[in-house]
């Protein structure tokens, strides 16, 4: 699979359960904006069958290179970001993984059981990153037990391997002079933004400002019946130039820590 195909498959799969992303995309295009992607994020567990080393393979094959590494102590996450070696317009890729050994024995056992239930071939699928929730059952009891300890683990159980969000490159928007302006436009158009740590994460001094919508609510069919669970969100990133004049390319862990919460149902009720 080539890069264009991979990125468009990730978008299709994401847009299918994130109708607001498609609507915001079309709304901005309707205003004459050209939409460019700053980055795409993917989540996983650090079990060696599905960890970052496994999921990065397809991206390395299409020309991405590993760049920054990030640690999220309280959420027990580790992440890496990738940039394309030749295509400067290609979105960055951000892959995070839950550090299972730092979680409770109960959560570790649950995740092991989930992964053990999969066909071994599922892990060797070169398109694993596009394969969603590959486990055979989806139990609300399992979802709730994961949710008690890690919203990230619970989200992963329901939605699996896919793009968790796409991110609009706000530098490329012509009609907005700041992220505040873009946020105000989105809120006036009816979208709810993630307010954890403030609606804008990061500062010009940190060279990256980010905001995001709250994830859409999506109907999930559990073995016990169906329930609305937050799916995916849309992010907006504005980058500032470094001393050498080039835009900052990395991520900011303290901001990312709050962006992760865009899928947390607790924020929806604020």
* Closest separation in Å from C-beta 183 to ligand OOG: 16
Stretch that binds Ni ion, among 3-11, 33-41, 45-53, 105-113 (CB under 5 A): 33-41
* Closest separation in Å from C-beta 56 to ligand OOG: 15
Comparing CB distances to ligand OOG, the nearer of 6 and 258 is 258
Comparing CB distances to Ni ion, the nearer of 227 and 253 is 253
DSSP code per residue over 34-100: PP-EEEEEEEEE-STTTSHHHHHHHHHHTTEEEEEEEEETTTTEEEEEEEESS-TTSPEEEEEEE-G
Q: From the list ligand OOG, Ni ion, none, which binds 260 (C-beta under 5 to 8 Å, kind-based)? A: ligand OOG
Rounded to whole angstroms, what are the CA distances from 30 to 2, 84, 171, 206, 260? 29, 29, 18, 32, 29
Interface residues with ligand OOG (CB under 6 A) are 41, 43, 94, 96, 164, 210, 235, 251, 255-256, 259-260
Distance in angstroms (rounded) separating the CA atoms of residues 204 and 211: 13
Q: From the list Ni ion, ligand OOG, none, which binds 255 (C-beta under 5 to 8 Å, kind-based)? A: ligand OOG
User: Which is it for strands 233-239 and 208-212: parallel, antiparallel or unpaired?
Assistant: antiparallel
* Closest separation in Å from C-beta 148 to ligand OOG: 19
Position of minimal CB gap to ligand OOG: 256
* Closest separation in Å from C-beta 69 to ligand OOG: 13
Q: Which long-range contacts (CB under 8 A, 24 or more apart) does 144-151 make?
A: 145/106, 145/107, 145/110, 146/107, 146/110, 146/111, 149/103, 149/104, 149/106, 149/107, 150/75, 150/76, 150/98, 150/103, 150/107, 151/261, 151/263, 151/264, 151/265, 151/266
Nearest to 224 by CA among 104, 141, 132: 141
For Ni ion, the binding residues in 34-63 under the rule CB under 5 A are 41
From candidates 151, 235, 257, 261, binder to Ni ion by CB under 5 A: 235
* Closest separation in Å from C-beta 261 to ligand OOG: 8
* Closest separation in Å from C-beta 150 to Ni ion: 18
Comparing CB distances to ligand OOG, the nearer of 41 and 220 is 41
Q: From the list ligand OOG, Ni ion, none, which binds 96 (C-beta under 5 to 8 Å, kind-based)? A: ligand OOG
Interacting residues toward Ni ion by CB under 5 A: 41, 235
């Amino acid at each position: 699979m080539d890069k264009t195909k991979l990125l468009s498959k990730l978008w299709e799969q994401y847009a299918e359960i994130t109708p607001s992303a498609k609507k915001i995309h079309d709304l901005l295009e309707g205003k004459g904006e050209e939409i460019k992607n700053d980055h795409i994020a993917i989540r996983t567990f650090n079990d060696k069958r599905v960890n970052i080393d496994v999921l990065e393979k397809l991206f390395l094959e299409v020309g991405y290179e590993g760049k920054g590494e990030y640690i999220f102590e309280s959420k027990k996450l580790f992440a890496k970001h990738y940039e394309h070696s030749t295509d400067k317009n290609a979105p960055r890729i951000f892959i995070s993984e839950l550090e299972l050994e730092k979680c409770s024995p109960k959560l570790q056992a649950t995740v092991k059981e989930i992964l053990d239930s999969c066909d071994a071939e599922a892990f060797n699928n070169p398109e694993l990153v596009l394969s969603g929730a590959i486990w055979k059952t989806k139990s609300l009891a399992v979802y709730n037990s994961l949710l008690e300890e890690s919203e990230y683990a619970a989200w992963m159980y329901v939605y699996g391997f896919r793009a968790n969000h796409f991110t609009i490159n706000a530098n490329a928007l012509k009609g907005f002079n700041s992220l505040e302006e873009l946020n105000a436009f989105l809120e006036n158009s009816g979208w709810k933004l993630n307010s954890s740590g403030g609606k804008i994460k990061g500062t010009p001094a940190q060279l990256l400002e980010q905001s995001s919508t709250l994830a859409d609510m999506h109907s999930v069919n559990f073995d016990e019946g169906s329930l609305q669970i937050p799916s995916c969100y849309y992010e907006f990133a504005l980058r500032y130039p470094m001393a050498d004049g080039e835009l900052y390319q990395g991520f900011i862990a303290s901001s990312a820590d709050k962006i992760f919460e865009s899928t947390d149902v607790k924020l929806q009720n604020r």
